[in-house]
């Protein structure tokens, strides 16, 4: 890169972006392309004139491969191959992690103060969690209802950057979070949860809010995976069974009733044979060993994928029209997606903002292909009205709602089909 008139300029590097201020500047990008301020690319090579009046010229730094992604109701994140995390979208509570609040980021920024230690990232509407190389858990964003697990609800913690969750500095294998509670699996296969507990979603036999992690009681086996819904929690046990607890007004515990539970309850018919689980706001799904998906809970937006809409299903039902070669599953507010063995994505349910990625805003009662993503995907992450995919080349694509820049393409325009997130790829 060449930058002209060095005596009249100021250069600042912020969050993987170079800002150049000054009069009469030009920027030579050294190739056949340059970046516009909106993140799109122009076909002009060599030098590009930069307006005066102190406006910054924005130049993207080299891209980096993503290895894990997470999506939520307004902000999304990716772990990079270097062990850092980049986030984008809504930042009203500091959940982007760049040390600011009350703004939005339509392109990814680095989480500050984290270092190159991340192995996974989990996003929620109010806080973001990272799993580290030492098996520790870090969190940033809002501490409402004690999501930081530090024994307080101090709201100012959101501006302090990533914080350790006390007692979880090592020995953790997985973390899950949603609106106002979170859970972590230990190396011994035990489960600890903390935060809001108004429906017994922490699984400690009470409905007392917990500002520090507490043990879940009554599990029949050790825990292999955990999935957190709106006000309930589900686990996949080491023997392939599913247990859930918490709010059950929509049958999301899958035990044939609508009675809430403050301790784990078996999901009807799923005491073995399950490979993976996923939880939306008021529905949950299980990917079966061999083939097939079963879902239960709320279905007024076709989130169960049965081919019809209904108020709810209090026990698991089969999803219609799926191939038998599925490798992953993800659920959110009112839709569900699966990953096929060929690297394709199929989704169903609510589609008011184009989050099913088929180019429409029509509700689909059974699975449909995401346009352009019938192969080449290694992970799908569903957020509330925004869905993202990690590609085999380390790129990230998102689609659906984009009010707060959660698509990450430099705009706030909804996308009915997958769009590239700026800054990721080979």
pLDDT in tens, 173-230: 999 998 899 999 999 999 999 999 999 999 999 999 999 999 999 999 999 999 999 9
Sign of the four-CA dihedral 375, 376, 378, 379: negative
- pLDDT, residue 144, reads 87
CB contact burial 383-412 (16+ within 10 A = b; e otherwise): bbbbbbbbbeebbbbbbbbbbbbbbbbbbe
- On whether the CB atoms of residues 187 and 173 are closer than 8 A, the answer is yes
Q: Tokens 């950057």 label which residue?
A: 161
* 145: three-class secondary structure by DSSP: helix
| Whether the predicted pLDDT of 6 surpasses 90 | no
Which residues contact residue 174 at a Cβ distance below 8 angstroms, ignoring those fewer than 6 apart?
120, 131, 184, 185, 225, 226
The Cα–Cα gap between 123 and 47 comes to 40
9 occurs within a structural domain: yes
Lowest mean pLDDT among 152-156, 215-219, 227-231, 309-313: 152-156
52 occurs within a structural domain: yes
233: closest CA among 196, 279, 268?
279
28 occurs within a structural domain: yes
357 occurs within a structural domain: no
113 occurs within a structural domain: no
173 occurs within a structural domain: no
Sign of the four-CA dihedral 33, 81, 167, 71: positive
- pLDDT, residue 125, reads 87
The Cα–Cα gap between 43 and 257 comes to 60
| Whether the predicted pLDDT of 28 surpasses 70 | no
- pLDDT, residue 21, reads 32
11 occurs within a structural domain: yes
Q: Tokens 């043990």 label which residue?
A: 215
Instruction: Give the C-alpha distances (Å, rounded to integers) separating 15 from 97, 104, 367, 412.
Output: 11, 14, 38, 20
Domain count within the chain: 1
Q: How confident is the model at residue 46 (pLDDT cuts 50, 70, 90)?
A: very low
202: closest CA among 188, 217, 187, 189?
217
Domain that holds residue 10: 2-60
Name residue 174's beta-bridge partners: 185
E-strand stretches of 43-141: 47-49, 57-60, 66-71, 75-80, 85-90, 104-110, 118-123, 127-132, 137-141
- pLDDT, residue 245, reads 98
| Average pLDDT in the chain | 87
24 occurs within a structural domain: yes
Does the global pTM surpass 0.75?
yes
Paired tokens of 162: 């990533």
* Percentage, residues of the chain above pLDDT 70: 85
- On whether the CB atoms of residues 375 and 362 are closer than 8 A, the answer is no
């Amino acid at each position: 890169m060449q930058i002209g008139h060095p005596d009249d300029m100021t250069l600042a590097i912020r969050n993987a972006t170079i800002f150049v201020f000054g009069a009469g500047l030009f920027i030579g990008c050294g190739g056949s392309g340059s970046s516009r301020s909106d993140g799109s690319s122009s076909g002009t090579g060599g030098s590009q004139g930069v307006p005066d009046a102190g406006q910054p010229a924005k130049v993207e730094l080299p891209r980096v491969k993503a290895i894990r992604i997470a999506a939520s109701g307004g902000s999304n994140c990716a772990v990079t191959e270097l062990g850092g995390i980049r986030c984008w979208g809504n930042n009203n509570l500091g959940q982007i992690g760049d040390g600011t609040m009350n703004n939005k980021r339509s392109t990814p920024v680095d989480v500050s103060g984290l270092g190159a230690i991340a192995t996974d990232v989990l996003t929620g509407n109010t806080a973001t969690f990272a799993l580290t190389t030492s098996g520790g858990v870090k969190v940033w964003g809002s501490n409402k209802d004690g999501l930081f697990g530090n024994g307080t609800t101090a709201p100012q913690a959101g501006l302090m950057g990533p914080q350790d969750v006390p007692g979880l500095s090592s020995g953790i294998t997985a973390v899950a979070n949603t609106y106002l509670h979170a859970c972590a699996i230990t190396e011994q296969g035990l489960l600890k949860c903390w935060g809001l507990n108004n429906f017994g979603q922490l699984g400690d036999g009470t409905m007392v809010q917990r500002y520090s992690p507490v043990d879940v009681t009554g599990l029949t086996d050790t825990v292999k995976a955990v999935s957190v819904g709106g006000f309930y929690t589900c686990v996949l046990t080491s023997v392939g069974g599913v247990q859930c607890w918490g709010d059950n007004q929509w049958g999301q515990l899958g035990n044939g009733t609508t009675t809430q539970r403050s301790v784990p309850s078996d999901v009807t018919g799923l005491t073995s044979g399950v490979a993976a689980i996923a939880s939306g706001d008021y529905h949950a799904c299980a990917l079966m060993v061999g083939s097939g998906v079963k879902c239960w809970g709320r279905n007024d937006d076709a989130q169960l994928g049965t081919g019809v809409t209904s108020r709810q299903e209090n026990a698991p039902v089969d999803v219609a029209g799926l191939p038998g070669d599925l490798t992953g599953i993800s659920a959110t507010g009112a839709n569900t997606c699966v990953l096929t063995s060929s690297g394709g994505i199929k989704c169903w349910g609510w589609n008011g903002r184009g989050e099913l990625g088929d180019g429409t805003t029509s509700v689909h009662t059974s699975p449909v292909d995401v346009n352009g993503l019938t192969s080449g995907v290694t992970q799908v992450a569903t957020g509330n009205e925004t869905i993202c995919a990690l590609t085999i080349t380390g790129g990230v694509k998102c689609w659906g709602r984009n009010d707060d820049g959660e698509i990450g393409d430099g705009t706030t325009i909804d996308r009915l089909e997958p769009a590239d997130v700026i800054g990721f790829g080979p």
